A and B are shown apart, each in its own frame.
Chain A
């Protein structure tokens, strides 16, 4: 597919392309010195650009169409994946995928939002926006995992639960609420990873867990910057300000104690190197799994209720 370039990625990529050209010429021309200068420049440019990304730029990275999605991580990180379909009530929602998988020696149930890469697959995946049956499928798979004592990993990456007539008719709100209640009682470890966009209740609907992780360039909030802008600023034009105000980056959420850990991405973002990203995440997940599996189920539930109970700030 065609490469997508974000505005702030352009100068870097332009220089990199120039570098490639120059290297091709270097056998005939004596330009090694110039090449070294440009290489140095690229390195410095990358460091400055990615060190000082604004919150809005992070949102753009989180939505980068070349980022790895749930199924990419599953293929890169696990083996023996068996996808399981359907909520046993209405249908199989393609915006949430899940199934058994092995991460080296660990048996896990992996569930995540799934976006598409092009128009056709995005229509198939409903742009990663689940209907109620997606949440109900997720809950069915989580209960299945609990039954066979298998830990659960969920991947969050959605622009939101789908706002449609049928979604309302089939109880979008009830489906999300039910998951929050049931996930509080599951007797197996749950690890939640925000791998892209964590938009509001649609993300949280599979986002309750014992450990909540965020990849470095992702966002998670109560509303998207665009919708926040349209409501509070009464215009779509204040998305940058809204992103700043919402404090929605991984760094922000670590400070707000909503996430436990931020997972570093390859320089430039997860889309620059899927394999490296998956490898990093895999080792983090193995570490977390081995710690959580040591905790007794009763203690796990107690901790989970306490963890979410502590979230929020108020004055008495």
Chain B
């Protein structure tokens, strides 16, 4: 499964988001509005003028969604092994080491428990900046354990996806994480414990084809790229241009695979209301 790049700049660069310009100001890649960082943060990292959703990581989502200081992280330091002894332009362990250093994260998902307006939840949040948010054994195991925690404590599970798909460097084991996480969600579902999936930009490949699409409720952020195959692959296969808006959250909503597209500023409230009904 590939990691997909959209032609539009600043949206899907797999290098870490540059804090530009140096200092306190950020430029909206969509409308070029210059926004003060504090203002951006107060607006949940969305543009004050055009509503563009800046890509944020697990740290920011935790602060946007969870009650203050309620997050208790699980399996924080779980790290990738190198089961295939994989080398492309550099050995996989070196890539992991570099990514850890560059991102300050140990892998592409963080998991733990917390509260949303007092509702206890088990939350997973992916980070695109860690090797494109790709899912290998660590992501699969951490998600599985999180779902198990939801089962054990009978609390709703929420997963925020942000990923180009399965991680190539762990080969078939990455593929099997799709099966692994789905078996756990099946168990959760059979016990009538709620699962809410939130898709952010981008959610593609093996993530979409496993836990991201399996929510009792499927939500997405506006404009997020969501799909199975990446746009480049589809374009190559069919040999013509893709229709405008193809594979955006709004497109997926229109075709019936999302319950709702939610502005990031309303995400917390929406979750809280849903949890009122479901838990």
The answer to the question of A40 belonging to the interface, with a C-beta cut-off of 8 Å to chain B, is: no
| CB-based nearest A residue for B177 | A312
Enumerate A199-214 residues with CB–CB distance to B below 8 Å.
Answer: 200-201, 204-205, 207-208
In angstroms, Cα B253 to Cα A181, docked, is 22
* Contacting pair B1 A201 (CB below 8 A): yes
Tell me the minimal C-beta distance from B93 to chain A in angstroms: 10
Q: A221-B171, A233-B88, A312-B180 are in contact. Are A168 and B81 (CB under 8 A)?
A: no
* Contacting pair A177 B140 (CB below 8 A): no
Interface size on A, residues (CB 8 A): 54
In angstroms, Cα B92 to Cα A313, docked, is 14
The answer to the question of B182 belonging to the interface, with a C-beta cut-off of 8 Å to chain A, is: yes
Q: A172-B229, A312-B177 are in contact. Are A181 and B209 (CB under 8 A)?
A: no
In angstroms, Cα B144 to Cα A165, docked, is 32
| CB-based nearest A residue for B190 | A185
For residue A170, which residues in chain B have a CB less than 8 angstroms away from its CB?
A: 255
Option from A165, A185, A228 in Cβ contact (under 8 Å) with B168: A228
* Contacting pair A247 B182 (CB below 8 A): no
Tell me the minimal C-beta distance from A212 to chain B in angstroms: 10
In angstroms, Cα B190 to Cα A170, docked, is 26
The answer to the question of A266 belonging to the interface, with a C-beta cut-off of 8 Å to chain B, is: no
* Contacting pair B183 A315 (CB below 8 A): no
Interface string of A193-229 (1 = CB under 8 A from B): 0000000110011011000000000001111000110
* Contacting pair A165 B243 (CB below 8 A): yes
Option from B140, B208, B209, B229 in Cβ contact (under 8 Å) with A163: B229
Enumerate B199-220 residues with CB–CB distance to A below 8 Å.
Answer: 205-206, 208-214
* Contacting pair A304 B80 (CB below 8 A): no
* Contacting pair B213 A173 (CB below 8 A): yes
The answer to the question of B43 belonging to the interface, with a C-beta cut-off of 8 Å to chain A, is: no
A interface residues (Cβ-Cβ under 8 A, vs B): 161-165, 167-174, 176-178, 180-182, 184-185, 200-201, 204-205, 207-208, 220-223, 227-228, 231-233, 245-248, 252-253, 256, 258, 304-305, 308-309, 311-316
Can you give 19 contacting A-B residue pairs, CB < 8 Å?
A: A163-B233, A168-B228, A171-B213, A176-B228, A177-B208, A180-B183, A181-B189, A201-B166, A201-B206, A204-B179, A208-B183, A221-B172, A221-B175, A222-B166, A222-B175, A252-B172, A256-B84, A256-B171, A308-B180
A-B pairs, 9 with minimum CB distance: A312-B137, A163-B229, A180-B182, A173-B208, A173-B228, A184-B186, A232-B88, A172-B228, A184-B183
